[in-house]
Amino acid sequence: MGTWIFLGVLLVIILIIAFKTIRIVKQSEVYIIERLGKFYKIADAGLTIIVPFFDHVRSVVSLKQQTMDIPPQGVITKDNVTITIDTVVFYKVTDPAKAVYEIQNLKKGIEYLAITTIRDIVGKMDLDSTFSSRDAINDKLRVLLDEATDQWGCKIDRVEIKDITPPPDIRDAMEKQMNAERNKRALILQAEGERQSAVTLAEGKKEAAILEAEADREARIRRAAGEAEAIKKVAEAKAEEVHMVYDAMMRAKPDEKLVQLKSLEALKEVANGEANKIFIPFEATGALSGLGAASEMFKDDKKRTKKIQSVSDANDSDSTDYGNSVTIEEK
């Protein structure tokens, strides 16, 4: 009976020792093991054997990327406006020993450091810059926190500002300003659209006028070319007709009188036309000169006849009055 009790106690002791000796470390975790109160080693994922009563697991450190939500903080900007900033920090432990031994509480250290850094950065900016420069604020926060936490075995991956909340009166003023800016942009866009429409319409009218002028010029050129071609054709036809007449006359062997007669007939036809100027062939000038001489002689004969008739009438009338005197002088 006593033997069984001893064996049972021994088994319990063995189980306790085994439980204290064998440890299983999960993935993405490490154990900080101390031996006699001093850092001994870092146990990675898997099975780990420790010496009971000598070795002790000081801390279990996660190697995953972790997030820490910074409580909303009231920050005074450069233009003395109090705003509330809500921030979240993404970090990862790169050196578990430093994360355990270099700082009492890593999360608290990151939180306090983030709060002071945010106040320092935003305090140098005005209100409008805080809203328009979120990316710049995030980058500055990440760089400063990463430099400060490097000695703690921690890597700051990202810092994001979730929300920036201004006071209610500032918010109302900003909303009014935004509405005014929207109305201004709408009016500018409307005016720009109207201006562009007017410019496009004017350009269209200009192009239409240019095309119309070019079409009119092209029509006039074509009309003039057609008229010139018609005149050329008529001239060629007339020349052909003259050549035909000339050839016929040459074949008929006309004498000088016939040529003069034909010239006079042609001159008569020309004179009966509507032209203001008449070009007389050189061959017709002889006939015309002869005709002119004949007409002048005919006019001179008529004048001489009229003069003789008038003289005879005068003599008949004067014979009654002066006949005696003339007779006396003759005797």
Q: Shortest CA distance to 142 belongs to which of 115, 114, 164, 122?
A: 114
**300 confidence band (pLDDT: 50, 70, 90):** low
Q: What is the pLDDT of residue 270?
A: 52
**Across all residues in the chain, what is the average pLDDT?**
77
Residues 241-271: tens digit of each pLDDT: 777 766 776 666 656 666 666 666 665 555 5
Q: What is the pLDDT of residue 90?
A: 94
Q: What is the pLDDT of residue 267?
A: 57
Q: What is the pLDDT of residue 15?
A: 78
Please state the pTM of the whole predicted model: 0.51
CA dist 197 and 219 (Å) reads 32
pLDDT over 50 (residue 164)? yes
Q: Which residue has the tokens 């002889």?
A: 286
Q: Which residue has the tokens 């983030």?
A: 114
pLDDT over 70 (residue 51)? yes
Residues 52-98: tens digit of each pLDDT: 888 888 889 999 999 999 888 888 888 888 889 999 999 999 999 99
**113 Cβ contact partners less than 8 Å away, ≥ 6 residues apart:** 145, 148, 149
Length of the chain: 331
Domain covering 66-166, topology: Tetrahydropterin Synthase; Chain A (3.30.479)
Which DSSP category does 105 fall into?
-
Q: Is 212 helix (H, G, I), strand (E, B) or coil?
A: helix
Q: What is the pLDDT of residue 93?
A: 92
Q: What is the pLDDT of residue 314?
A: 46
Determine what percent of the chain is predicted with pLDDT higher than 90.
12
**30 confidence band (pLDDT: 50, 70, 90):** very high
Mean pLDDT, residues 39-50 taken together: 86
CA dist 117 and 153 (Å) reads 19
**130 confidence band (pLDDT: 50, 70, 90):** confident
Mean pLDDT, residues 159-185 taken together: 84
Q: Give the type of residue at 147.
A: E
Q: Shortest CA distance to 88 belongs to which of 133, 123, 64, 118?
A: 118
What phi and psi values does residue 157 have, to the nearest 5 degrees? Answer: -85, -50
CA dist 125 and 115 (Å) reads 16
Mean pLDDT, residues 221-235 taken together: 85
